[in-house]
Chain A
């Protein structure tokens, strides 16, 4: 008798979510198998990479991370255009670092104006990421939702503490929300239920499980994401059948290892080290089920895209 390879029996499918609008709109989700289990079923599209842009001049960045963006780091519009035109970004993630109350504490109106300028200047989907300070994110993201009405932005992070206000804005002005929970599958499910109760349709929700990079607990993130996919795909858990976004670049590039100079602690070339840490962290999260990975360094992105092409060849 011939050997038969055991097969997982799938009963669910990740919902498809359309981000942005027009010709450059991007669809994520749609998979009905574990990540890259192409021998067991359909993964109708590759995961997407969003490139990071900051709304204020970066502070304390490693040289390797600044280099590709020389000349544009004080101009979010130019930065975003460079990512698209020069590095082929299919999506932009605008990090509203300037709104952090512990930093520049820029006001909602001013921040929303910058978001609108970027949104008007680009045609790929725009993810707008606040600072996870509930009071401030409510002010900023509801204002952003209003001034960018109709652009189908992706607004996050939306947490249990601010989901009502930001969720309501997203419904009113037709944007997608990033449902963000602290690496806990039960809380992730609960927040999706709460957003559903509020009236946010599933096609306007993506999930952020909260991730870290290699060396900082990525294994735990992997387990939680893996468990989410098991529930979604094999246990018909409809509340978890949503695409996953991983905002990992800033986690990698703030680590101690990335900032050590060349050859310190036998860690070799600093630039290569940062790029590899980012690429490997991103790849780990892709294998765990990430549908969108927020990344920074163009060379790390190139490596990941090559690996994706190899995996799906």
Chain B
């Protein structure tokens, strides 16, 4: 699995000000630490960057690639900033992301700079409500890209993960359903998820359980890539195939096995409870691990 480190982000208390002041040191330090933690790409999330986003992205790409040898994911809604980053990027960059709204401007960049792109399944009317709407958006993005000569292999579709802490927006089932049909809709296309979104709104110390469990669930559908916290070593171990037994347990629960949670080892029990919350079998509350 391809892991994309999410830690270089404008909303971070250290990285945000460093971006604004063009202070390379905290950014380079974070980039080196994330690379050392074993991720494959680094996400450059500069936010909407409406003003001078192009200068910022160019500086970010140069600054980071000066100290690490990884490809970058250029994460902004500012098209000019994406292009400025692509111009100076070494290796094959990932555009994060292209959706229906701006695809006519952004898709040409994919061929022009030989980049890959994350195809965000965000509809013209906002968040897709189910797997079918995800499929329709995916098909439209794919066909538009194909007419420009972009092969499916360059497309990493993101079904959009939403927080588990809010029952109104819990989209686990449609995301998994979509993942199971992706190869039928877009043969050869890849997948990508913003994993940590699932634990937005959850107390910080508990977030890793949601992130890791959801990753294991997505692995059932051969998830290609995930944007993750580079410093969750356990999560990286899972992605690298080092927790096969736990992953198998999660997949058995997804297939309908009902483990006797009381008889499980306490750590295993936490993951089993988290599967039940994510599938909607039990209702989320901040104390879900204690019940």
Which chain A residues border B165 with CB–CB below 8 Å?
A: 186
A184 to B283, CA, bound (A): 12
What mask results when residues 264 to 291 of chain B are scored 1 for a CB within 8 Å of chain A, else 0? 0000000000000000011111110011
Nearest residue, chain A, Cβ from B280: A235
Query: Does A171 lie at the interface of the complex (its beta carbon under 8 Å from any beta carbon of B)?
Result: no
Option from A185, A190, A231, A237 in Cβ contact (under 8 Å) with B286: A190
How far is B206's CA from A142's CA once the two chains are assembled, in angstroms?
A: 33
How far, in angstroms, from A197 to B285 measured CA to CA in the complex? 14
Q: Which label, helix, strand, loop or mixed, suits the secondary structure of the B interface?
A: loop
Supposing A193-B290, A193-B291, A194-B287 touch, asked if A227 and B282 sit within 8 A by C-beta, the answer is: no
Contact A237 B290 (CB under 8 A): no
Q: Verify if B166 is at the interface (C-beta below 8 Å from A).
A: yes
**Interface majority SS on A: helix, strand, loop or mixed?**
helix
Distance of A189 Cα from B281 Cα, bound (Å): 15
When chains A and B are docked, how far (Å) is the Cα of A239 from the Cα of B291? 9
The reply on A206 being an interface residue by CB < 8 A is: no
B281: nearest chain-A partner, CB-CB: A235
Is residue B233 within 8 Å, beta carbon to beta carbon, of the partner chain?
Answer: no
CA distance A190 to B287 in the complex (A): 7
Residues facing B in A165-188 (CB within 8 A) are: 184-187
In this assembly, does A248 line the interface, its C-beta being within 8 Å of a C-beta of chain B?
Answer: no
Least CB distance from B73 to A in Å reads: 32
A19 near B: Cβ within 8 Å? no
A144 at the interface (CB under 8 A from B): no
Report yes or no: B287 in contact with A240, Cβ–Cβ below 8 A: no
Which residues between 220 and 253 of chain B lie within 8 Å of chain A, taking CB atoms?
none
Q: Using a CB-CB cutoff of 8 Å, which residues 229-256 of chain A contact chain B?
A: 231, 235, 237, 239-240
Judging by beta carbons under 8 Å apart, are A240 and B283 in contact?
A: yes
Interface string of B140-175 (1 = CB under 8 A from A): 000000000000000000000000011100000000
> Distance (Å) between the CB of B165 and the closest chain A CB?
6
Contact B287 A186 (CB under 8 A): no
CA distance A186 to B290 in the complex (A): 15
Is B285 a contact partner of A231 (Cβ separation < 8 A)? no
Q: Are A237 and B282 interface neighbours, CB within 8 A? A: yes
Partner of A185, one of B281, B283, B290: B283
Q: Which residues of B contact A190 (CB under 8 A)?
A: 285-287
A187 to B165, CA, bound (A): 9
B287 engages A235 (CB within 8 Å): no
Cα A189 to Cα B285 in complex, Å, equals 6
Q: How far is the CA of A197 from the CA of B290 in the complex (A)?
A: 10
Contacts of B286 in A (CB 8 A): 186, 190
- Shortest Cβ distance from A170 into chain B, in angstroms? 20
Give Cα A161 to B281, complex, Å: 29
The residues of B that contact A186 with a CB separation of less than 8 Å are 165-167, 283-286
Q: In this complex, which of A187, A189, A239, A240 has the most chain B Cβ atoms within 10 angstroms of its Cβ?
A: A189
With known contacts A185-B167, A186-B165, A237–B283 Cβ distance under 8 A:
yes
Residue among B281, B285, B291 with max Cβ neighbours from chain A (10 Å): B285
Bound together, the chains give a CA A187 to CA B167 distance in angstroms of 10
Q: Which residue of A lies closest to B163 (CB)?
A: A186
CB–CB B281/A239 < 8 A: no
For window 81-113 of chain B, which residues contact chain A by CB distance below 8 Å? none
- When distances are taken between beta carbons in the complex, the residues of chain B under 8 Å from A197 are 287
* B285, A239: Cβ atoms closer than 8 Å: yes
The chain B residue with its CB closest to the CB of A228 is: B283
Is the Cβ of A193 less than 8 Å from the Cβ of B285? yes
Instruction: Tell me the chain A residues, 185-206 only, with Cβ under 8 Å from chain B.
Output: 185-187, 189-190, 193-194, 197
Contacts of B283 in A (CB 8 A): 185-186, 189, 231, 235, 237, 240
- Central interface residue in A186, A190, A193, by most chain B CB within 10 Å: A186
Q: Which residue of B lies closest to A187 (CB)?
A: B285
Q: Which 8 A-B pairs have the closest CB atoms?
A: A190-B285, A189-B285, A193-B287, A231-B283, A190-B286, A186-B284, A237-B283, A185-B167
**What are 19 pairs between A and B in contact, CB < 8 Å?**
A184-B166, A185-B167, A186-B165, A186-B167, A186-B284, A189-B283, A189-B284, A189-B285, A190-B285, A190-B286, A190-B287, A193-B285, A193-B287, A193-B290, A193-B291, A194-B287, A227-B167, A235-B282, A239-B291
Query: Beyond A190-B286, A194-B287: 9 further Cβ-contacts under 8 Å?
Result: A187-B285, A190-B285, A193-B287, A193-B290, A227-B167, A235-B281, A237-B283, A239-B291, A240-B283
